[in-house]
Structure 1
Amino acid sequence: MTALARISLRWRVAAAFGLGLLVLVSALAFATWKLTSGYMLSQRVEGATRQAEANVRLVNDAIRTDYGSLDDLLTGLSTGPDSTILLYQPRGWITSGRRIDPSALPPEFLQRAMQGRPARQRILAGGIPTLAVTLPIVTPRGCYIELFPLTELDRTFRFLSSLLIGGTLTCAALASAVGWWTSRRALRPLIALTEAASRVAGGDLSARLPAQSDPDLAPLATTFNTTAEALERRVRQDARFAGDVSHELRSPLTTMVNAAEVLERRGGDLPPVARQALDLLLAEVRRFHHMVLDLLEISRADQHGDRRSQELVDVPGLVRNVIAARHGTDLPVEVSEPMLLVSADRRRLDRVVANLLDNAERYAGGPVRLAVCCRDDRVRLEIDDAGPGVPEELRERIFERFARGGYAGRRGVETGSGLGLAIVAEHVQREGGTVWVEDRPGGGARFVVELPEARE
């Protein structure tokens, strides 16, 4: 699975909104920056050029009229403390304003100036961004250079760029928030569908979607509700059929079991072949009787769904009562706290504990440890056995109906009906808990049941 696939659809929509607007606003901001900065710079360059041309005319007039010292004239032509005027004549350089060594100017620019060719160039003079303008003068081999500071313009550019970048990022963040909010509203029907489907998968066949006024969503809700109703009706019919069949079989099976027990008590009078046939018949009748009782339990749960009688149940006390009612099981219960309560149907929990103990006795040599504790606000029941353990590939399959693991295909009273652990899984799930099997330290299997803890 790629990293993009692990991101939820809601966040992908929000990211698409944000990235889309980020690209759009970035393009507009870049165009705004280019147009604005270009226009402001060109205006500054044109203004500086015009001023330099006016100053050169005054300098040329002064040179033609043999004006005394040019230092005073250049000082008067300086526009500010950061501006610089450089005048070159055969006698040497004359500087006015901020002192800048002519050698600090770019060589190409200085060469053009000395050749008497006009030029303009943005340079960094003394750590200050400036616009250098050079113009020829009437003196042979002379030149006029004026440096105009661009500090204010540079500050304006920085403010404009910060404003555009901040505005672009803000728009992207707002677009992501709008995308997240829009996707949340748009996906609300899908979330409702997911929740309803999860409830159906969890056994709540009464889950339905509310009626939708949107013409695009109404068919989806109608189809889901129709499918859920058909599924509920089919499950109820199948459960009712299984319950009716199981109920009808109870009476003849009871008669068969009683008759078989009478024959068993007179087994000593039967020949060996008849005795062997009787033992096989007794095993199959008892297994069939147990299967009918399990089918009745499952059909009762399927028909009544979650309609149950809830009460506060003390789990350690319930486990002790189940053990006390069984013959041949005398195992102490390890309890971490004197009172561990759950809100559940007591009859279901009785059946869960009894079926887990039956499973340990039938397949794993009996239980060797029973423990009830509390972990993270959940009551935990652990039943360890002395068997060979459950292979990794069978740890989920054994909780399915008619799954008997490695005993599939075998016959005998010890093999069971394949419904005991399925009843455990369904009862625990209906009580809001979980059940699984893991390895027991030292060998064997550990069946774990966790239920939400209830407070008095």
Structure 2
Amino acid sequence: MPATRPRTRGILRPRLPLRWRVAIAFAAVSLAITGLLAAATWHLASSYLLAKREQGATSQAAVDARLVQDALRDPARDGSDDLLQGLAGGGEITVAVRRNDTWTTSGRQLDVDALPPDLLALAGSGTAARQRIVAGGIPVLAVAVPLQGAVYVELVPLSELDATLRFLSGVLVAGVGVSGLLGLALGGWAGKRALRPLTDLRDAAARVAAGDLDARLPEQDDADLAPLAATFNRTAEDLRRRVRRDARFASDVSHELRSPLTTLVNAVAVLRRRRDELPPTARQAVDLLDADVHRFGKMVTDLLEISREEQIDERDLEVCDVVDIVTHAVGARRGIAVEVEGTPPKVLVDRRRLDRVVGNLLDNADHHAGGAVRIGVSTCADGVRIEVDDAGPGIPPELREEVFERFSRGANAGRRDGGGGAGLGLALVARHVRAHQGRIRIEDSPAGGARVVVVIPGGSG
């Protein structure tokens, strides 16, 4: 069997949202461009300034060397020392003359032994030379000019030029950093605007998934986005028509079944009254028929309920006390006490739907989980929380979403007894809860079974 390569695509997939990846890409491009421009600017500016400084220092050293040469040619005037002091100016420049292996210096004090031997050798051979060195802890430009029987050396400090270049480099680095931040901000803004159609698509798809089949995308003028919006709207419209067609079909079938169902119920009632007159085999058949007719009637009722329009008519809304609704639904069921925590607020709901939610949860616990052992009502951050704990074995996490689907019966699939149900109870519960913009989920109960949690949002007085 050929070996398969491990799949690493999911591991290497970027974790950042697309908007931030766009922003980082903008910032990286901005840093790259401005970095190249800053490097080019630094190179050109530093080369130009250094070249101008070297050119000026070299020209000045040549002029000064001629003056020193003239002074050395006239032995009658022994003013070379005064001349060197004058050439050194305020002492920032160091001038030195080597004659007969003897050094005469003026200006900034310098250890002449620190001068590069190659520079002095080149000047001694009759060729003017210059070299950047560090003398006394500061950068200087050393210019050596050959004289007759001597060598003239002039050291020009480069401290001001070095400070200027450091300032320029700081400005360029700061500019690159600011450019990166601006690129990040621009990328975030551009990414937000570019991804706005996808955000609208996500929101519209979420509304459709939540049951709002009338959600649509606005028409787009952009040639690239217009087909996307048109395709989504067409798909949503087809889905709405199909859902309504299915609901209408279920409603029509349910209505058509009511008449024969009524006949069957009446016929079974007659047979049940005469059950004692029938032989044992016929009694067993009547019992089976009675259970199936009862189950059939409940399924038809649930189909009629589930085929109703999911959206709540505002005329059916009223401010209700959830505790009263739950207490009424519990009714005469034995062994169940309504536990109330805090003071749950009143909510604006369709009382019939909410009563059906609680009733279906209790019926589901009775039919599939050994009955309800606790029902609680409490206040939560979003509104009112209803909890129903059962005595069953619990529901595995992988099935906790599936049980809210239509005709999902889990381990009871295939049962034909009257307690099996048609798998529509929890689907109706989820439908009514979503119609109220609420949430429903299944958790583990502290008692060991399953806990169904319903959150109804809102609150009033």
Compute the TM-score of the two structures, normalised by the length of structure 1: 0.92
Contact 1:283–1:413 (8 Å) recurs in 2 = yes
Is 2:43 aligned against 1:43? no
Deviations 1:167-197 (A, max 9, x none): 2332333233333323322322222222112
Q: How far did residue 60 of structure 1 move?
A: 1.7
Residue 383, structure 1, aligned to residue 383, structure 2: no
Instruction: Deviation per CA, 1:109-156: give whole Å up to 9, x if none.
Output: 4665666653322222223222122222323xx432221111221122
* Greater CA drift, 243-252 or 286-295: 243-252
Equivalent residue number for residue 320 of structure 2: 313
Alignment of 1:94 with 2:104, yes or no, is: yes
For this pair of structures, how many residues does the alignment match?
450
Counterpart mapping for 1:7-406 below 5 A: 7-66=16-75, 67-90=77-100, 92-106=102-116, 108-109=118-119, 112=122, 118-139=128-149, 142-300=150-308, 303-308=309-314, 309-324=316-331, 327-406=332-411
- Does structure 1 residue 418 correspond to structure 2 residue 428? no
Structure 1 distance, partners of 2:302, 2:120, is 104
- The residue identity in structure 2 corresponding to 1:179 is G
Partner secondary structure for residue 374 of structure 2: strand
% identical aligned pairs: 54
Task: Name the structure 1 match of 2:453.
Answer: 448
**What CA distance in whole angstroms lies between the structure 2 residues aligned with 1:106 and 1:316?**
98
Deviation for aligned residue 1:329: 3.5
Moved more, 269-278 or 160-169: 160-169
Distance in 2, matches of 1:7 and 1:107, equals 60
8 Å CA contact 2:345–2:379 kept in 1: the answer is yes
Go from structure 1 to structure 2 and tell me whether the alpha carbon gap of 1:270 and 1:79 turns closer, same or farther (over 3 Å shift).
farther
> Can you give the 5+ residue segments of structure 2 that lack an aligned partner in the other structure?
1-9
Preserved contact between residue 109 and residue 119 of structure 1 (Cα < 8 Å): yes
Once residues 235 and 311 of structure 1 are traced to their aligned partners in structure 2, the CA distance between those partners, rounded to angstroms, is 28
Q: Secondary structure at the match of 1:376?
A: coil
CA contact (8 A) 2:98 2:151 kept: yes
Shift of 1:76: 0.4
Q: Look up the SS of the partner of 1:6 in the other structure.
A: coil
Letter in 1 for 2:31: L
Indicate conservation of the 8 Å contact 1:332/1:370, yes or no.
yes
Distance in 2 (alpha carbons) for counterparts of 1:34 and 1:344: 74
- Contact kept? 1:316, 1:340, Cα under 8 Å: no
The 8 Å contact of residues 310 and 432 in structure 2, kept in 1 or not, is answered as: no
1:113–1:145 Cα contact (<8 Å) kept: no
Change (3 A) 1:123 1:4: farther
Deviation at 1:234, TM superposition (A): 1.6
Classify 1:436/1:101 alpha carbon distance in 2 versus 1 (closer, same or farther; 3 Å). Answer: same
Question: What residue in structure 1 maps to residue 7 of structure 2?
Answer: none
Following superposition, the deviation at residue 422 of structure 1 comes to 1.0
Shift of the 134–314 alpha-carbon distance from structure 1 to 2, 3 Å rule, reads: farther
Task: Out of 232-241 and 207-216, give the one that drifted further.
Answer: 207-216
Aligned-residue offset at 1:102? 2.3
Q: Are residues 1:434 and 2:439 paired?
A: yes
Moved more, 409-418 or 119-128: 119-128
Q: What is the TM-score normalised by the length of structure 2?
A: 0.91
Q: Provide the rounded CA distance (Å) in 2 between the counterparts of 1:60 and 1:243.
A: 119
In the aligned structure 2, how far is the partner of 1:321 from the partner of 1:154?
89
Q: Deviations over 1:378-424 (max 9, x none)?
A: 42211111111112221111111111111111111111110111111
Change (3 A) 1:136 1:449: same
In 1, the alpha carbon distance for the partners of 2:441 and 2:256 equals 34
Instruction: Extract unaligned runs of 5+ from structure 1.
Output: none
User: Residues 72, 3 of structure 1: CA spacing in aligned structure 2 closer, same or farther, 3 A cutoff?
Assistant: farther
**1:348-384, CA deviations, whole angstroms, 9 ceiling, x for partnerless residues?**
2111111111111111111111112233334221111
Which AA in structure 1 matches 2:440? V
Write the distance in 2 (CA, Å) between the matches of 1:335 and 1:114. Answer: 106
Equivalent residue, structure 1, for 2:5: none
Give 1:50's aligned amino acid. Answer: S
Asked whether the equivalents of residues 286 and 413 of structure 1 are also in contact (C-alpha less than 8 Å), the reply is yes
Describe the superposition over 1:60-97 as per-residue Cα deviations: whole angstroms up to 9, x where unpaired.
Answer: 22122124253221110014433212322336322211
